[in-house]
Amino acid sequence: MTNASSTLTSSVNPISVQPTSNVSPIKGVLFDLDGTLADTAPDLIQALNLSLNDFGFPKQSISSMRSAASHGSLALVNAAQPDLPSEQKTAIQKRLLTHYHHINGDNTEIFDGLDAVLSLLDSKNIPYGVVTNKAARFARPLLDSLQLTQRMRTIISGDSTFNAKPHTAPMWLAAQQMGCAPHTILYLGDAERDLIAAQNANMIGAVALWGYISQDDLPNNWPAKHYFEAGKCLEKWLAEQL
């Protein structure tokens, strides 16, 4: 099984294949990583708190920072200390990433029900993978620790192409590596940019409602085709489709 290269790609074109009648429209499945496939908030927020402590700021609770975990390290710093000068936020962010490098995966687990989803996809020979804005130096070791790397047909990180989501480049690169036409791929995410990326790439967008969605988010307004409350709901739906 071939995994994605982390080489930068300047442009990616989608595979053009017309749908076939009487055949399941789902030929591949892609997941966002943080807040969709894996519950990475405990490690990210621990790294944030270690960094905040280094700079003399109080630690934050997981519950208060959880919704920011889907939006990257700087979003976590902004949520924890919104009034700091940008230079100080950047320094805290850099220290956060240093701490995260050492604890990445220690307390991260796949969300409930998704093991069964992946097993179903394996049993049906449906290729799957990840498209994340997380840098490869963090995404790949994390997937290794979750023992998912060898099961995935593609792993596209935030630095695998010159443009991250919601740009089409990482989405189409994943489609190429899975050998699937974009319109036959289900893409699951927990942030608006994920669904915009799916729409831009002509994929079937679905919202992972179990993810890091804040009270201020309006997922019903995102350009999604499907909404899933939990992994078991996704598994049931896929079993009917495949």
Known catalytic residues are: 32
Residues 78 and 80: their CA atoms lie apart, in Å, by: 5
Half-sphere exposure of 34 toward its Cβ, with a 13 Å CA cutoff? Answer: 28
3-state secondary structure the chain: CCCCCCCCCCCCCCCCCCCCCCCCCCCEEEECCECCCEECHHHHHHHHHHHHHHCCCCCCCHHHHHHHHHHCHHHHHHHHCCCCCHHHHHHHHHHHHHHHHHHCCCCCEECCCHHHHHHHHHHCCCCEEEECCCCHHHHHHHHHHCCCHHHCCEEECCCCCCCCCCCHHHHHHHHHHHCCCHHHEEEEECCHHHHHHHHHCCCEEEEECCCCCCCCCCHHHCCCCEEECCHHHHHHHHHHHC
